[in-house]
Chain A
Amino acid sequence: MSRVFSSIYEKQILLNLTRSYAFKSDLKIKWVRPEKIPCIKPEKSGDLSPFPNIDKSQYLVEFRKSKELETANDYVKRLFTLQFNSRKCTTNFFIHQSMEQVKRHEFDSGSIETKLARWTGYIRAWQELMQRFPKDKRLKVCLKELIDKRKKHLKYLRRWDYKKFEWILDQLNIVYKPPPSEFRWVTRRESLVKLTDKYCEDIRKTKLDEYKALLEAEQPAFLEEKIRTLEFIRDEQKDCGVEQTVSEEEIEDVRKQLEELKAKRTVTVEI
């Protein structure tokens, strides 16, 4: 009895000796922590095209159709171009352009598509400004809030009118990604667990593919063997005068199968 107990006791000691915590895997998986991208960057906000280079020799938005400006002096004309006005005017010009692209009718300024176009214009202009003045915290806050607002309204539009949602994504060149189901901060351990799972899955898949290829390589030889055997059985049955169980059609079917397989092989080789 005492021997039994001692053997159990020894096993427990052995179990205690193997360390389960701080366990270092000897798998060759390297984990690289992804770099943090600020939420105001175009990669995160989903803007695929930046603020464009606008021709500065154009008139201001308000004075484009002015008849008095057409007959005015050259100096006056130059004073009403974008070049001799503040940056805000260029931004307004761009916003006006993008709104014109998606407007429902001439007097439309409050529909969801025009709103989205206006916000997109501001976001792109401010993203460029943030690159020049990275310490401007007030602008950063405004920009983040506007990006979030646009995303929220895209979510609503998706629910109301999916076709328009897709159309507006295409028109304004924005990417929409839904929020993930759970928000967890990235840790080394969790990431390594996921990567190891993936690694094991890959190994399993490659092995299965290899085995499948091996079996497929054996198929023509097997079919030839089958034809030979079937023919042998048929001949034997004919010679002995027993009831025939193998029909000609059966053998023809196998032959057809073999031909199809060979044809498929040659096609794949040519490709």
Chain B
Amino acid sequence: MSLPSLRKTSLLLGVCVPSLKKEASKFKIKRLELDPHLKMYFSKHEFIYAHDPNKQCKTGDIVLIESLRESLTKLISHRVKEIIYPYGDVTCPLTNKKVVGSKYREHIDAINKIYGERPGAFKYGEAPPRGWQEDKKDFSHAETYIKYHEDGTEQPYAV
């Protein structure tokens, strides 16, 4: 059973994946396709580019994207509406509190306060926003590849 065209759907929820395109981000969209013989759904991934002039979306973010009336280019057919879950900085939708894994940040801080905080420890409030280690120590914003050629220059994205 074929799915309806993705490009005509007005609102989509996608995961941002690394891309080096300027003013646009790439999104992976998961869709469920029904196999009529097995009566079972199988996931199918499609990729869509959305207009994002300031490159707000970072790799891994879960983002709501909206289709444009006319596609900007051949590739860009959508625009970013809202970043719902920034990767690694999740807010609980019920309580509006910040969450780490399965714990609230507040609780972790309270426990640390009882034991006595250390001056050199990590502080969430004082930490700079995500992206300050990009291209320095964190190379997850671009796709890596296996090194296939030695040309004497430094290849930061080669594994």
Interfacial residues, chain A to chain B (CB-CB below 8 A): 31-35, 48, 101-108, 113, 158-170, 173-181, 183-184, 186, 190-191, 194-195
Contact = CB atoms under 8 A, between A and B. Distances in A.
Interface residues of B, number: 37
B107 interface: no
Interface in B81-102: 86-89, 100-101
Contact of A102 (B88, B112, B122, B149): B122
B159 A32 contact: no
Given A35-B150, A105-B118, A180-B159, A163 B89 contact: yes
Contacts of B128: 163
B4 interface: no
B88 A107 contact: no
A179 B88 contact: no
B23 interface: no
Given A158-B140, A178-B144, A180-B143, A163 B149 contact: no
Given A104-B112, A170-B133, A162 B121 contact: no
A168 B86 CA distance: 19
B124 interface: yes
B20 interface: no
Contact of B130 (A33, A101, A159, A166): A166
A179 B138 contact: no
A104 B121 contact: yes
A160 B101 contact: yes
Contacts of B100: 160-161
Given A104-B121, A159-B87, A166-B133, A176 B149 contact: no
Contacts of B149: 31-32, 34, 191, 194-195
Contacts of B148: 34, 186, 190-191, 194
B115 A162 contact: no
- The 7 A-B residue pairs with the shortest CB-CB distance, nearest first, are A162-B88, A105-B115, A163-B127, A32-B150, A169-B137, A191-B148, A166-B133
A104 to B, nearest CB: 5
Given A104-B117, A164-B127, A170-B137, 5 more contacts: A105-B112, A159-B60, A163-B130, A166-B130, A178-B144
B120 interface: yes
Interface string B123-147: 0100111101100011110011111
B70 interface: no
A160 to B, nearest CB: 4
Interface in B39-79: 60
A148 to B, nearest CB: 14
A170 B150 CA distance: 28
A168 B115 CA distance: 21
Contacts of A101: 120
Contact of B138 (A102, A166, A191, A194): A166
B36 interface: no
30 contacts: A32-B150, A34-B149, A35-B150, A102-B120, A103-B120, A103-B121, A104-B115, A104-B118, A105-B115, A105-B118, A105-B121, A106-B115, A158-B87, A158-B140, A159-B60, A159-B87, A161-B89, A162-B89, A163-B89, A163-B122, A169-B133, A174-B137, A176-B138, A176-B140, A177-B144, A179-B159, A180-B144, A180-B146, A184-B146, A194-B148
